[in-house]
Structure 1
Amino acid sequence: MSIRRLPENLVNRIAAGEVVERPASALKELVENAIDARSRRIAVRLMGGGIDGIEVSDDGCGISRNELPIAFERHATSKLPDEAIEAVNTLGFRGEALPSIASVAQVRLESRVAGEDGWSISVDNGRATDPVPAAIPHGTRVRVTGLFERVPARRKFLRSARSEYAACLDLMRRLAMARPDVGFLLEHDGRTIFNLPPDQDRPTRVAALTDRDLKANSIAVDLERDGVVLGGIAGLPTFHRGIADHQYLFVNGRPVKDRLLTGAVRGAYADLLARDRHAVVALFLEVPPSEVDVNVHPAKTEVRFRDPQLVRGMIVSGLRQAIEREGHRSSQPAAASAMALWQREGEGPRPPAGGFQPAVQAAWDGSQPSQPVSQYAGPTGLVADTGRKFEGFGALAPVSARAEVAVASVPVASDAPLGVARGQVAATYIVAEAEDGLVLVDQHAAHERLVLERLRAGAAGSGVAAQRLLLPDVVDLEETDCDRLEARIEELSAFGLDIERFGPAAMLVRATPALLGTVDTHRLLKDLADDLAEHDAPLSIGERIDHVAATMACHGSVRAGRVLSVAEMNSLLREMEATPHSGQCNHGRPTWVKLGHGDIEKLFGRR
């Protein structure tokens, strides 16, 4: 078979397949052109998810009449003034966007340069008309209709209008997030999706495009190393989602989806989130153009770094440092949703029909000052302090809350961000009074984080103190699990866990970390083996160590149901205030929540 040149229209369609895969692909190219034209405001209108039509209007520099036909020629661009493609600083530079779109759709482009007349040109699946005058404000407006109408093999692979719209919306969020200095309007089938003004600060723009609560539950990220700058915002570990759809990554102002970057985010939150939860982040990397290749993919959604480990290390350490700066901070639920969980009665409970004893009745009616009542009896007498029963009231649940007189000196609430312990509820939650409200602490979740940080500190220093077992424990496991544990004996020893192989399918435990107290060695080793099976290969040594520490901490923390003294409760609160990441446990759950004074006043109708 002889070699032949393909016809130009077929060449354009093949090129379009590399750039225009779906409506979102065409929209990306058009909006990036508008951004590169130094626009201050960009309006996007979609019809039928972009399948029926796309319109992009901007107030940028515009295109002159003589350049309109050239704009639809392949490899014709105004964004590459010389041949230094490695130093490009615009979003587009290949000169393939407009000709690729116009080869598989009907395109009408109207443009006017400031101080000149406006002109319009139409291209129908590769066939262009001559420019004609057009009435248009300065800037450019592009309409795309009939996408893939004459390429049925491509059109039938488009998804539903709803799915295509979702892809367009995600794209617009990313582009608008990358340029908070530009105003963006998005409409779909005549309905306004968002209308963002120009010159917004970055946290406000990101929160407006993701979650309103993100701004109040996020932290700033700022790090510079070897000419690489990392900025942006990251959600607190307790502010997370079930899917990773709110992770936005940008390189030199370009939205990208890169495995290296998403893996780094996962590593930074490794021991702060449960395995099925995902962080909310918007990270912006500024890298010297010579250190990154943006020409890897025709759609420029992927990049390649000259030093990928530097970039990954910056993201992990930048996020870690930002989270550590916040100390014990935790995301708090919205006041409306928290208040809805409280039960409030209009008049309060009424006394029993038969009445209380005289002293109690007088205190109830307010006829005399109320006194601390430790025992009071209804007509049928007091049943028990843990199961009171009055006529008309029925049996009450056993009282599980308790308070205790403090023997040691109690700190002042204003000097303690997490307040002063006032009691314990259900032998699980610590009730503390802070200067600005009421604090509830989950003692198990909080202590789990504290144990983890102690284990980390010990492993990084001289090692964790070990507690020798009087009689070594033999733990039976699968042979593969034993192999994984045997390969990590030295790493585990740094945490005070002394084990050795004991036959093909057993491990001998000689010592456990003293911090953990009495632990179930079989369960501990089984959990460690499971973690190593899942995370051993893809993670670095440091990250593997973090996973080991997190698993151990879960076995050594104060369990729910343990009664604590006031001194123990206050000690736990003070250590939380001094420990990084103490606002969330190792699984991403909050360790404490606060009910502000304003919320309490609302409960009692004072506001």
Structure 2
Amino acid sequence: MARIHPLPAELVNQIAAGEVIERPASVVKELVENSLDAGARRIEIDIEDGGARLIRVRDDGAGIDADDLALAISAHATSKIASFEDLERVGTLGFRGEALPSIASVSRFALTSRTAAAGSATRIEVDGGKPHSQRPAQHAPGTSVEIRDLFYNLPARRKFLRAERTEFNHIDDLVRSIALAREAVEIRLSNNGKVVRLYKPVREDGEADRRLADVLGDGFVGNSLRIDHAGAGMRLSGWVGLPTASRSQADQQYFHVNGRLVRDRVVAHAVRQAYADVLFHGRHPAFVLFLELDPQGVDVNVHPAKSEVRFRDSRLVHDFLYRSLHEALSATRAGMQPGHESSTEPAANDLRPVLRNQSGFRLGVGEPLADYAALLGTPSASARDFPRLAGRSDGSTEAAAADIPPLGFAIAQLHGIFVLAQNAQGLVLVDMHAAHERITYERLKLAREGEGIRSQMLLVPLLIAVSEREAGIVEEHAERFAGLGFDVVRSGMQGITVRRVPTLLAGGDVSQLVRDVIADLAAHGSSRRIEEVGNELLSTMACHGSVRANRRLSLPEMDALLRDMEATERSAQCNHGRPTWVQLSLQELDRLFLRGR
């Protein structure tokens, strides 16, 4: 073995670069975060060859004093923290002072900056970690950082870069997340000299949906719920996608903690549990969420790229996230419009009265009623013959529309499977089995909650061999097991005994269920395993107890089903996550028949 010796500064920075800089998108992240910390209101990002040839980030922030420019590219030099107390309450995106020297050590680097008080800008260049002398330059107040030939002096790292399109897509995704978190900042992204993204700043709260639509599209805005919950010293705000707008991949999931985009298993588990009852198997929810809490409650210094955090009280955070999201999703009802200003109600004059023909099927027709009645060969009808959807005697269709329930009123049954209804927006189609399945399921859950978790004694106590650590968890959480309907005690160093189990689960694999609960308690400090397994059984019961296909329903029965859907939590999806209803607006129907062209 060689003698211990200090590493050269250039090698130290290159090692740090290996931790901080995974790909060009990592460089963009560090530079843009510095711009945001400097108070920038406008950020321009120029990319060439996926970032391998050029990355340039220019901002209008506070700038760097000329005397501090050399320090900016020195390891562990920063203006953002000065003491251990500052490190415990990090309020900026950057704080280590590693990014610039690490980037400069593996590229041809140039930094140009000017403060508002300075008469001119100053520029410093670094080539592979070796700085050149400073010189005056032309630059508006703010900072520009240029990175050329990334990893030119580390050929092995450069070979790991993917295709240009792949690297740029990673940069694009990063810029999307930043645009969502900092809606007051204008961001421009150019690729090979062409502007591909221009996110205009949001000046008022009412414009937040515009930024959201610019980043994720109108489809996300029209199929998401806006939430804003506060409690336990935390606040959760943002948008959660409706379960029926789930995606095949987890590509639209943005979670920010105090403005920092992070990936966290506690968050992922809470979101997955909140959607467990409404999401189709194999699908992923879409969301843009912002969690705000005391900086002392979260440690941001646990990952070199700062993409992960550690919560001081992870169980409290988990429960708050789960309950906030669960409550928001529970409040959804069939017929509810997404809570966004961009989702507007159709004009009142789109409401059309209904006429019944000789077959008993009601047809939407326009005025005058007498002419259409004659055309169809039916007796003349007046508005009071079908008061449910017709206008008032004073001609006020607005008042009539206000009286129409969200899902409207049934007009027919199709192939014994679907209910057709007319509401103020147009035509509603309902899968009657899926809808009744959700209604039955929710009622079973309410009945169970009213009775509490019943349990029964086992004729022969069940002895389960576990690790010493798992046995300790059972001993520590004995009361929690009792609240779940179990009587579990520790028996020896590596064993537990189950004497009582929930009645609903008595026929299941008790041993595996107890092990799963222990694993949940070890990872998250809580478990919904019993409730989830119980819900699966109730879901099966609801499926078998719901109306089946080809069962003929009368109009009053169909209307009763619609009213129950409007009053039942999560009724927009069945127990398996499939949609229970579909709305076709009059505009969509017009397009189907090329009306107005």
**1:62 shift after superposition:** 0.8
What is the 5 A alignment of 1:99-138?
99-116=101-118, 117-138=120-141
Does 1:280 find its partner at 2:282? no
Pairs within 5 Å for 1:234-249: 234-249=240-255
**How big is the shift at 1:489?**
9.4
Shift of 1:328: 2.0
Deviation of 1:94 (Å): 0.3
Residue 221 of structure 2 corresponds to residue 212 of structure 1? no
Contact 1:177-1:206 at 8 Å conserved across structures: yes
**Is the CA contact (8 Å cut-off) linking 2:122 and 2:135 kept in structure 1?**
yes
Q: In the TM superposition, what is the alpha-carbon distance from 1:329 to its structure 2 partner?
A: 4.2
Residue 388 of structure 2 contacts residue 404 of structure 2 at CA under 8 Å; is this kept in 1?
A: no
Please name the residue that 1:558 is paired with: 547
CA distance in 2, matches of 1:51, 1:592: 49
Deviations 1:273-305 (Å, cap 9, x if unpaired)? 112111110111111111111111121111001
Q: 1:185 aligns with which of 164, 175, 188?
A: 188
Match of 1:300 in 2: 306
* Identical positions, percent: 44
- Aligned counterparts, 1:434-583, within 5 A: 434-462=423-451, 490-491=501-502, 493=504, 500=507, 538=520, 540=528, 541-583=530-572
CA distance in 1, matches of 2:305, 2:312: 20
Aligned positions of 1:220-369 closer than 5 A: 220-329=226-335
**Matched residues in 2 for 1:563 and 1:233: separation?**
40
Checking the alignment, whether the CA contact within 8 Å between 1:295 and 1:303 is kept in structure 2 is yes
Matching residue's letter, 2:314: P
Q: Which residue of 2 aligns with 1:57?
A: 58
Note if contact 2:56-2:146 (Cα within 8 Å) is conserved in structure 1: yes
SS in 2 for 1:45: strand
Give the match's secondary structure for 1:173: helix
**CA deviation digits over 1:358-380, x for unaligned, max 9?**
xxxxxxxx99754359xxxxxxx
Which residue of structure 2 aligns with residue 167 of structure 1? 170
Secondary structure of the residue aligned to 1:39 is coil
Structure possessing the higher radius of gyration over alpha carbons: 1
- The amino acid across from 1:77 in the alignment is T
Structure-2 separation of matches of 1:533 and 1:83: 41
Q: Distance in 1 between matches of 2:263 and 2:185?
A: 22
Q: Structure 1: how far apart are the matches of 2:31 and 2:42?
A: 14
- SS state at 1:60 partner: coil
Shift of 1:596: 2.1
Cα distance between partner residues in 2 of 1:149 and 1:566: 74
Change in CA separation of 1:70 and 1:311 when aligned onto 2, cut-off 3 Å: same
Q: Contact conserved, 2:281 with 2:577, CA < 8 A, in 1?
A: no
Report the secondary structure of 2:238's partner residue: strand
Q: Could you tell me how far 1:106 is from its partner in structure 2?
A: 0.8
Q: 2:512, 2:276 → 1: CA distance?
A: 16
Question: How many angstroms does 1:192 deviate by?
Answer: 2.2
- Give the whole-Å Cα distance in 1 for the aligned partners of 2:209 and 2:532: 29
Alignment RMSD, CA only?
A: 3.3
State the Cα distance separating 1:235 from its structure 2 match. 0.9
Alpha-carbon distance between aligned partners in 2 of 1:289 and 1:28, rounded to the nearest angstrom: 21
Provide the residue aligned with 2:366 in structure 1: none
* Residue 601 of structure 1: how far off its partner (Å): 4.0
Shift of 1:464: 11
Q: Which residue of 2 aligns with 1:518?
A: none
Tell me what 2:523 maps to. none
- Take 1:123 and 1:277, find their aligned partners in 2: how far apart are those partners? 47
TM-superposed CA distance for 1:492, in Å, is 5.5
| Secondary structure, counterpart of 1:427 in structure 2 | coil
Deviations along 1:307-366, whole A, 9 cap, x unmatched? 11111111111112112333224689x99xxxxxxxxxxxxxxxxxxxxxxxxxxxxxx9
1:111 and 1:138 in contact (8 A); partners too: yes
- Deviation for aligned residue 1:583: 1.2
Rounded Cα–Cα distance in structure 1 between residues aligned with 2:453 and 2:413: 31
The change in CA–CA distance for 1:203 and 1:312 in structure 2 (over 3 A counts) is farther
CA distance, structure 2, for counterparts of residue 533 and residue 568 of structure 1: 46
**Which residue does the alignment assign to 1:390?**
none
Letter of the 2:108 partner, please give it. Q
C-alpha distance in structure 2 between counterparts of 1:553 and 1:170, whole Å: 42
The TM-score, its normalising length taken from structure 1, stands at 0.75
For 1:210 and 1:532, how far apart are their aligned partners in 2? 42
TM superposition shift of 1:185: 0.8
Task: Encode CA deviations 1:152-203: one digit per residue, 9 max, x unaligned.
Answer: 1211222222222222112111122111111111111223221111225443
CA distance in 2, matches of 1:569, 1:563: 10
Query: Residue 149 of structure 1 corresponds to which residue in structure 2?
Result: 152
Q: Structure 2 counterpart of 1:131, which letter?
A: Q
SS of the equivalent of 1:222 reads strand
- Code of the residue aligned with 1:181 in structure 2: it is A
1:38 equivalent in structure 2:
39
Counterpart position of 1:584? 573
> Does the 8 Å CA contact 2:236/2:321 hold for their aligned counterparts?
yes
Counterpart amino acid of 1:228?
Answer: M
Instruction: Identify which range, 201-210 or 119-128, moves more after superposition.
Output: 201-210
- Greater CA drift, 323-332 or 244-253: 323-332
Report the Cα distance in structure 2 between the residues aligned to 1:194 and 1:231, rounded to whole angstroms: 25
Aligned-partner Cα distance in 1 for 2:41–2:266: 33
Query: Which sections of structure 2, spanning at least 5 residues, go unmatched?
Result: 344-371, 380-385, 390-399, 455-485, 487-497, 521-526
Given the superposition, is the C-alpha separation of residues 329 and 266 from structure 1 closer, same or farther in structure 2, using an over 3 Å criterion?
Answer: farther
Deviation at 1:97, TM superposition (A): 0.6
**Distance in 1 between the 2:58 and 2:240 partners?**
32
2:200 is aligned with 1:197: yes
SS at match of 2:243: coil
- Equivalence for 1:93: 95
Q: 1:488 to 1:126 in 2, by over 3 A?
A: farther
- Amino acid of the structure 1 residue aligned with 2:24: P
Paired residues of 2:243 and 2:275 also in contact (CA < 8 A): yes
Q: Which amino acid aligns with 2:447?
A: G
In the TM superposition, residue 533 of structure 1 has moved relative to its aligned partner by: 11
What do the CA deviations read for 1:83-134 (whole angstroms, capped 9, x no partner)? 4210120000100110000011111111111132111111001111111111
- Paired residue secondary structure (1:430): strand
Aligned to 1:429: 418
Amino acid at match of 1:252: N
Q: 1:183 to 1:327 in 2, by over 3 A?
A: same
Say whether the 8 Å CA contact 1:48–1:161 is kept in structure 2: yes
CA distances 1:6-33 after superposition (whole Å, capped 9, x unpaired): 1221111111111112111111110000
1:597 aligns to what? Answer: 586
- Whether the aligned pair in 2 keeps the contact of 1:531 and 1:548 (CA below 8 Å) is no
Decide whether aligned partners of structure 1 residues 68 and 421 sit closer, same or farther in structure 2, where only a CA change above 3 A counts: same
The alignment partner of 1:238 has SS state of helix
Q: Answer yes or no: is the 8 Å Cα contact 1:53–1:144 preserved in 2.
A: yes
Contiguous gaps of at least 5 residues in structure 1? 336-365, 374-407, 466-485, 502-506, 508-527
Task: Provide closer, same or farther for how the CA distance between residues 37 and 370 of structure 1 changes in structure 2, counting only shifts above 3 A.
Answer: closer
Describe the SS at the equivalent of 1:587: coil
CA contact (8 A) 1:491 1:545 kept: no
